[in-house]
Structure 1
Amino acid sequence: MTTHTVAPAQAEPAHPTSTSTRGRRRALKGERSAAAWMISPALVLFALFLLIPIALAFGLAFTDTRLISPRPGQFVGLENFAYLFSDPVFWASVRNTFLFAVVVVPVQAGSALLLALLVNAKVRGTTFFRTVYFLPVVTSMVVVSLLWRFMYQKDGLINQALSGLTGGLYSPIDWLNDPVWALPAIMFMSIWQGVAFHMVIWLAGLQTIPAERYEASEIDGANRLQQFRFVTWPGLRQTATLILVTITIASFSLFTQIAVMTQGGPLDSTTTVVYQAVRTGYQQLQTGLASAISLVFFVLVLIVSGIQRYLTRERS
């Protein structure tokens, strides 16, 4: 009788493709986990200092909550907004804020572009001028405001310089105590302080424009003005959008200069929306009303930034 020996079944080797796929999945899962751990501190801070305060401000805007009061805040609906829209001080702060932005945004952006074009020229000493122009930016705004407050006094450096230049014919102005000149004085100081920061951004945009475009325009016979119009400005479109939006937001957020130099005076001629919100919330202790002001300010900035972004968009 013949016996047949059956060889034991051999296990098929694992498919190399499935092994590598599982390895890639594990690696991808590990990368995602590491990325989540790395981004979590930023997300926590973002939620803690931005999302939660916005949510609280939105909720408090419809209440009569006070900063220090034994009585809990109660829901009052739109009473805070109705009060704001009938308050002449609020409308004065809105007017001052828009006036500041309308003047500062184009003047600061244009001055910064002019300085960027000058320091971008291939001449000696540009590094020195870049440093000198940028010094006000690295100086604290509080320090700058204090210095300019002394300079704007009736017997300050500015009046003395103007008097000397005019041979004594100039009558000194008490700049920060005059309702006509207080806001323009703060405008001038703010433009001087922030122009160099945006000069650096313009300068970065200028250095991204290929030199071959200028060489080609010179061959075509273009002069300096034509080069700026057809080569420089189109190459700076994205930079211009960034600068206009950042200056606009900074202009609408005007606070430090007002708090240090004028405290909103004289006669509310320098009161801004942000300063009124802070004064209402921390000096007058009306947290609900201050939150309503902040909410209105948020909507205003959002609308203006959206319009600005629409007008400066790239057109196909």
Structure 2
Amino acid sequence: MTVTPPTVAAEEPRRAYRRFRSIKGRETWAGLGMIAPAGVLLVLFLVIPVILAFALSFTNARLISPNPPRFVGFDNFIRAFTADPVFVQSVGNTAVFALVVVPVQAALGLLLAVLVNRRMRGVTAFRVIFFIPVVTSIVVVSILWKFMYQKDGLINAMFDALTFGAWSNVDWLNDPKTALGAIIVLSIWQAVGFHMIIWLAGLQTIPEELYEAAKMDGASPWRQFTNVTWPGLRPTMVFVLVTITIAALGLFVQVDVMTQGGPVNSTSTIVFHAVRKGYEQQEIGYAAAISLIFFVAVLAIALIQRRLTREKD
């Protein structure tokens, strides 16, 4: 019988532990090497710009100026709410846009998802048709709708035919009463297909057995929707509401392409006003302050939405 010396027996756990540390170390370095490119890009294009924007928001920095930036404290923030009526109007326009777009777009997306979730011939074609505006460039869509909104465009021609000439020649994008509404209609039409797909994915996660049980209990289609479909869509609903809200608050491209904030600033938004101040008027410090206000507002709204829609015990 061979007896292992005590020193050799004590060395075996140590060697196993060193091998384990060596393997873990190689895995750690391999993982760090894989995430390094993405990490560098995030730092360069996200972290550093956010830090610079935060620092610039407390200065009077300008893009082209012989004078160095000077620390002005909270003057930019005070100016935004007290001495800049265009910013206040932009906040109101953005709020109106979000309050209309978020519920309407979410409801229409859910309605379309319910309709295309049926097993019938040609339903795939309808899904593709509804989703085509989403994959089309928003710049191209805005240019096309700008032509449609002209006095002699397709929209007025359609209303002229439907009302027998009683309602036509409306200057949609040059009238302060209709310009923002015209952009709202365009935005809902362009993005509703994306949220239809999200709702559809949520619908297809609900087990079919629940609907069969509801039918056996004599539940009507509306009762099936309220007692089976809607509770099953709660996580999807949270995601849809948050994404629509963030996109609505960040409205910029449609305004930049179609109206340039006019007429009379009736379509100016927070993001558009920040870009105009920063690049057209070269007040980069003030634009950074507006961007910081926008970031805090979006974060607060998203957290409130998440709290109101959270699962309750």
2:56 to 55, 60, 83: 60
Answer yes or no: is the 8 Å Cα contact 2:157–2:168 preserved in 1. Answer: no
Structure 2 partner of 1:51: 47
Structure 2 partner of 1:81: 77
1:205 to 199, 202, 205: 202
Structure 2 partner of 1:182: 179
Query: Could you say what secondary structure the match of 2:176 adopts?
Result: coil
Cα distance, 1:230–1:16 mapped onto 2, change above 3 Å: farther
TM-score when normalising by structure 1:
0.94
TM-score when normalising by structure 2:
0.95
Structure 2 partner of 1:5: none
* Structure 2 segments unaligned to the other structure (5+ residues): none
C-alpha displacement at 1:51, in angstroms? 1.2
1:107 to 104, 107, 110: 104
C-alpha displacement at 1:16, in angstroms? 5.1
Q: Which amino acid aligns with 1:23?
A: R
Structure 2 partner of 1:3: none
Q: Which amino acid aligns with 1:27?
A: I
Q: Which amino acid aligns with 1:303?
A: A
Structure 2 partner of 1:31: 27
Name the CA distance, whole Å, in 2 between partners of 1:244 and 1:119. Answer: 21
Query: Could you say what secondary structure the match of 1:155 adopts?
Result: coil
Query: Could you say what secondary structure the match of 1:69 adopts?
Result: coil
Name the CA distance, whole Å, in 1 between partners of 2:262 and 2:122. Answer: 42
C-alpha displacement at 1:10, in angstroms? 10
Rg larger in structure: 1
Alignment of 1:266-285 (within 5 A): 266-285=263-282
C-alpha displacement at 1:196, in angstroms? 0.3
Structure 1 partner of 2:167: 170
1:224 to 221, 224, 228: 221
Q: Which amino acid aligns with 1:298?
A: F
Question: RMSD value over aligned CA atoms?
Answer: 1.5
Query: Could you say what secondary structure the match of 1:97 adopts?
Result: helix
Name the CA distance, whole Å, in 1 between partners of 2:244 and 2:114. Answer: 19
Cα distance, 1:216–1:20 mapped onto 2, change above 3 Å: farther
Structure 2 partner of 1:310: 307
C-alpha displacement at 1:210, in angstroms? 1.1
Alignment of 1:116-155 (within 5 A): 116-155=113-152
Deviates further, 258-267 or 303-312: 303-312
C-alpha displacement at 1:23, in angstroms? 2.7
Deviates further, 138-147 or 219-228: 219-228
Name the CA distance, whole Å, in 1 between partners of 2:62 and 2:93. Answer: 27
2:285 to 259, 279, 288: 288
Q: Which amino acid aligns with 1:245?
A: V
Deviations 1:63-103 (A, max 9, x none): 00001111111001111111111111111000000100000
Q: Percent identity?
A: 58
C-alpha displacement at 1:21, in angstroms? 3.6
Q: Which amino acid aligns with 1:47?
A: V
Does residue 90 of structure 2 align to residue 90 of structure 1?
Answer: no
Cα distance, 1:162–1:29 mapped onto 2, change above 3 Å: same
Name the CA distance, whole Å, in 2 between partners of 1:13 and 1:292. Answer: 67
* Structure 1 segments unaligned to the other structure (5+ residues): 1-8
C-alpha displacement at 1:15, in angstroms? 5.9
Query: Could you say what secondary structure the match of 1:135 adopts?
Result: helix
Deviates further, 264-273 or 21-30: 21-30
Name the CA distance, whole Å, in 2 between partners of 1:153 and 1:168. Answer: 16
Name the CA distance, whole Å, in 2 between partners of 1:32 and 1:238. Answer: 34
Count, aligned residues: 308
Deviates further, 168-177 or 264-273: 168-177
Query: Could you say what secondary structure the match of 1:282 adopts?
Result: helix
1:249 to 246, 249, 258: 246
Deviates further, 74-83 or 140-149: 74-83
2:234 to 237, 245, 250: 237
C-alpha displacement at 1:19, in angstroms? 3.9
